[in-house]
């Protein structure tokens, strides 16, 4: 273990301690929370570095002493685990997310499939101990969604669900299809890391805000108050509509939250473009127009096209048991990154 690296990290910890002890920090709860998390993470990193330093000494000692040789496998294993913990990770992986699911080709059937995908992710989130909150939705009369946007709060959500961005295709006989023909429909999923105002600022001058009454299925007005918000980012032309919250202010805050995540994602995509071009695979960072997965009902089979693997027992998977699929994608991503 490089002693200079430990010293440098300890200096960073002292710097954070100084910032956290400043009286002004308590007037900014968000910044205090963020710095406190950084401090805890840095402290844990230093402890791991020091432990690694001791293990490396123990390994060299064991190599020279026949009586201690039997300890080598355990020491080597612990060394590898610590090195993996200390290896650079995507800092976004630990973040909460905003997930956007939209019906693609297939009309009502695509909208119903979008609702099923949302339920799948909601159940998975529940299994992982995360919280799900709907930010905006556009529901059709038979229960599907033309669009649904939700926030999933928890530790490491983006690290798990970032692999879900892309086109999801479903092949099945729709309930409304009398002839029994198999239809192919699609939905798109976008997974965006949540970012706060400290990390990514939007110039208020760039935002255009309009209000309207909330719309129900079919477009009819469901209230007489102008609580719905239509937010436009003028430089990019991005538009966010929010109407699910009770008040105009709540809808405005949700719309800004979604807009911030989308604009941050655009910036991230620009940075990652060169990296993607250098990689043979696009696992975890694929183009959102790319077909990533097919859900074939007649054959009870889900196929992920990026890693060319299939799973059966679709009912269980659509009930939220998607961890085995994501773990395979994570492993393929690690192998590709080597």
Geometric angle at alpha carbon 129, from 123 and 134, rounded to 5°: 55
The SS3 call for residue 92 is: helix
d(CA 1, CA 57) in angstroms, rounded, equals: 10
pLDDT tens-digit map of 92-151: 888 899 999 999 988 889 999 999 999 999 999 999 999 999 988 888 888 899 999 999
Q: List, for residues 199-239, the tens digit of each pLDDT value.
A: 677 888 888 888 876 665 544 444 445 678 888 888 888 88
297: nearest Cα among 107, 108, 113: 113
The residues that bridge with 107 in the sheet, in sequence order, are none
Give CA–CA dist 87/93, Å, rounded.
14
Which of 171, 168, 189 is CA-nearest to residue 304?
A: 168
Q: For the structural domain made of 92-337, what CATH number should be given?
A: 3.30.70.1660
pTM of the model as a whole: 0.64
Map out the domains of the chain as residue ranges: 3-87, 92-337
Element (H, E) at 63: helix 29-64
Top-confidence residue, 159 or 177: 159
Token look-up 């949540």 returns 194
């Amino acid at each position: 273990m490089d002693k200079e690296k430990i010293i440098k990290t300890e200096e960073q910890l002292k710097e954070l301690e100084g910032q956290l002890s400043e009286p002004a920090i308590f007037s900014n709860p968000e910044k205090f929370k963020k710095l406190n998390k950084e401090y805890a993470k840095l402290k844990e990193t230093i402890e791991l570095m020091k432990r690694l330093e001791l293990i490396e000494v123990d390994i060299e000692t064991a190599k020279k002493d026949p009586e201690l040789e039997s300890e080598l496998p355990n020491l080597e294993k612990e060394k590898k685990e610590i090195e993996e913990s200390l290896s650079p990770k995507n800092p976004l992986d630990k973040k909460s997310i905003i997930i956007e699911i939209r019906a693609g080709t297939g009309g009502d059937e695509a909208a119903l499939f979008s609702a099923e995908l949302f339920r799948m992710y909601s159940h998975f989130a529940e299994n992982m101990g995360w919280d799900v909150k709907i930010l905006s939705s556009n529901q059709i009369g038979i229960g599907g969604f033309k669009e649904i946007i939700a926030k999933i709060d928890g530790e490491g959500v983006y690290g798990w669900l970032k692999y879900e961005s892309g086109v999801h295709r479903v092949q099945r006989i729709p309930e409304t299809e009398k002839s029994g023909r198999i239809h192919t429909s699609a939905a798109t999923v976008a997974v965006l890391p949540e970012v706060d105002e400290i990390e990514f600022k939007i110039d208020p001058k760039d935002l255009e805000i309009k209000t309207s009454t909330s719309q129900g299925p079919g477009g009819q007005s469901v209230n007489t108050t102008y609580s719905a918000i239509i937010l436009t980012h003028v430089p990019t032309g991005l538009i966010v509509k929010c109407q699910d919250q009770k008040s105009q202010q709540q809808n405005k805050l949700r719309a800004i939250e979604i807009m911030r995540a989308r604009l941050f994602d655009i910036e991230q995509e620009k940075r990652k473009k060169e990296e993607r071009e250098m990689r043979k695979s696009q696992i975890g960072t694929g183009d959102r127009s790319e077909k990533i997965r097919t859900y074939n009902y007649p054959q009870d089979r889900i196929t992920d096209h990026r890693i060319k693997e299939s799973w059966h027992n679709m009912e269980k998977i659509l009930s939220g048991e998607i961890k085995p699929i994501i773990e395979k994608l994570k492993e393929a991503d690690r192998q590709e990154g080597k």
